[in-house]
Amino acid sequence: MNLTIENILLVGSLLLLISILAGKTSYKFGVPTLLLFLAIGMLAGSEGIGGIFFDDPKLAQFIGIVSLNFILFTGGLETNWTSVKPILREGIALSTLGVFLTAISVGAFVFFLTDFTIFESLLLGSIVSSTDAAAVFSILRSKSIALKTNLRPTLELESGSNDPMAYVLTIAFLSLVVNQDQSYLSIFLLFFQQMIFGGIIGFTFGLLSKYIVNNIKLDFDGLYPVLVIALMFITFSTADFLGGNGFLAIYICAVYLGNQNLIHKKSILKVFDGLAWLMEIVLFLTLGLLVFPSEIIPYMGIGLLISLFLIVVARPIGVFLSLMFFKMRLKRRFYISWVGLRGAVPIVFATYPLLAGIDKANMIFNIVFFISVTSVLIQGTTLSIVAKWLRVSLPKQAKKLTATDLLLTENPKAELKEILITPDYFAVDKKIVELGFPKNAIIAMIIRGDSYITPNGYTKIEAEDTLVVLADKPDVFDEVDRTLKSNKK
């Protein structure tokens, strides 16, 4: 079946519906939903029962980049800076040095195992060097794995921030494959340019985005998530245009925004959470359609060897060496090594050699596809088991309510308190967004006379208002009182 304007909406919506329904039951059998989305795409493809012919790496790459924008931005919005700050250095080490060491290790193995040139080998190693944010975020969320001592923030920070390093390495070694006379110095310059420009642009647009969101007055509340989407793409495109790394820019921008007081922040987070899931499904379906299973079979043997080397040797080398100067228990290092999930990102990066037209592009793409599938299948299905085996998981009853959980789900078990605002309060005649309200508490309702008001960031607090405040624990109300009574922090 060839996709046309007339049938693309029907086919697309049916695939989306099938993916959602299949994903609902997949974990009963221990199968990660992302792998299921990929399988549905393959079954719908030209060699599957759907017979849909799709062989357009350029379109697949475009869909991949757009999807990764949403996935990384959502991951950044949901990143709690308070949790990340203590492990920031470890996360940066894993996302830079760890990725580099993994790429070199896999590249060396591929060079000695195959007839690839050294640059082709390092290109393949670079493509599979980063953990996949879509896979890590979705599997940790779906399995609701509670981990000890900052392990989860470490894993999420690494997966959200290591794609830029893998992208730079992929582009660098691809340019060396295409033009072997290129200076090595240009590669180092490219790396520093991408990282420095990407970081600066990301933080700058984070500041600018906060100002725009909080000061623009839109007539419809539903336009605020649309505004943030526009700002997200502007951040990515500006960074890319100026020679910075767009993926790094949007992640830093999102982390900053996610830890600030924003107008309609609750609705923005909910919309992006849904869009991230949509983009994950679309991305994996697209990549499933792009692959031809018959072309993978000849490379399954070499693909399995490289995949096992990556899981058992290269990933642990990258983790242990990059964390060697940090204090961390051995079992936690082992678990970080195991959560080295490869997913859609390596497959998207593998489209770059296809578009560049290098000799072994098809071979690299099929090997990378097989590595990603085996990684999600082997590691993704065993995260809970390995966590229990290494004793790095918390028992279910020990899980704590986080500020993000409270904000997104309004857990009925949260602490509730009614606070009467007297005329001497600092908060009188102030907008909620101006107060610097604690992040682990929200004003759920304002009782004003006989009226019940659902507040947003623009809502101005008046004397004699009664605020219905939700918090994740009782002692947060002390900070709430200080915020409402005085502007001194």
Q: Rounded to two decimals, what is the model's pTM?
A: 0.75
Domains of the chain: 8-398 (1.20.1530.20), 408-485 (3.30.70.1450)
* Tokens standing for residue 449: 């006379």
Check residue 414 and give its pLDDT.
54
Place of tokens 């990929």: 38
- Measure the CA–CA gap between 317 and 319, rounded to whole angstroms: 6
User: What SS3 class is residue 112?
Assistant: helix
Most confident of 366-370, 388-392, 481-485: 366-370
* Per-residue pLDDT tens over the stretch 102-124: 999 999 999 999 989 999 999 99
- Measure the CA–CA gap between 70 and 233, rounded to whole angstroms: 9
H or E element that contains 213: helix 184-215
96-133 b/e (C-beta count within 10 Å ≥ 16 → b): bbbbbbbbbbbbbbbbeebebeebbbbbbbbbbbbbbb
- Measure the CA–CA gap between 202 and 196, rounded to whole angstroms: 10
Q: How far is CA 113 from the centre of its chain?
A: 33
- Strands (E) located in 326-460: 415-420, 441-448, 451-453
* Tokens standing for residue 400: 């704590």
Check residue 415 and give its pLDDT.
67
- Measure the CA–CA gap between 255 and 274, rounded to whole angstroms: 18
Nearest to 248 by CA among 206, 194, 169, 319: 194
Asked if the model's pLDDT at residue 277 lies above 50, the reply is yes
Angle at 487 between CA 486 and CA 489, to 5 degrees: 100
Angle at 311 between CA 310 and CA 312, to 5 degrees: 100
Check residue 402 and give its pLDDT.
41
Widest distance between CA atoms in the chain: 79
* Per-residue pLDDT tens over the stretch 177-191: 988 777 777 778 888
H or E element that contains 486: none
Check residue 25 and give its pLDDT.
58
Q: How far is CA 176 from the centre of its chain?
A: 29
Positive or negative, the Cα torsion across 365, 370, 374, 377? positive
- Burial class from Cβ neighbours inside 10 Å (0-12, 13-18, 19+) for residue 183 reads exposed
Nearest to 94 by CA among 248, 317, 311, 322: 322
H or E element that contains 471: strand 466-471
Q: Are 127 and 90 in contact (CB under 8 A)?
A: no
User: What SS3 class is residue 1?
Assistant: coil
* Per-residue pLDDT tens over the stretch 325-355: 888 888 889 998 998 888 778 888 999 999 9
Q: How confident is the model at residue 384 (pLDDT cuts 50, 70, 90)?
A: confident
Most confident of 48-52, 53-57, 122-126: 122-126
User: What SS3 class is residue 60?
Assistant: helix
Q: Are 468 and 476 in contact (CB under 8 A)?
A: no
* Tokens standing for residue 158: 């690494």
Residues of the chain with pLDDT > 70, as a percent, come to: 87
* Per-residue pLDDT tens over the stretch 437-485: 887 788 888 988 878 888 888 888 999 898 988 876 777 888 888 888 8
Asked if the model's pLDDT at residue 322 lies above 90, the reply is yes
| DSSP, res 417 | E
* Per-residue pLDDT tens over the stretch 9-33: 777 788 778 777 766 655 554 456 7
3-state helix, strand, coil in the chain (%, to 5): 65, 5, 25
Single-letter amino acid code for the residue at 387: A
- Measure the CA–CA gap between 421 and 485, rounded to whole angstroms: 9
- Burial class from Cβ neighbours inside 10 Å (0-12, 13-18, 19+) for residue 188 reads exposed
* Tokens standing for residue 54: 């799709």
Q: Rounded to a whole number, what is the distance in angstroms from the first to the last CA of the chain?
A: 64
Arithmetic mean of pLDDT over the chain: 83
Most confident of 123-127, 142-146, 151-155: 123-127
Q: How confident is the model at residue 139 (pLDDT cuts 50, 70, 90)?
A: low
Residues of the chain with pLDDT > 90, as a percent, come to: 29
Check residue 487 and give its pLDDT.
59
Nearest to 279 by CA among 66, 19, 52: 66
Positive or negative, the Cα torsion across 328, 333, 339, 341? positive
- Measure the CA–CA gap between 132 and 372, rounded to whole angstroms: 9
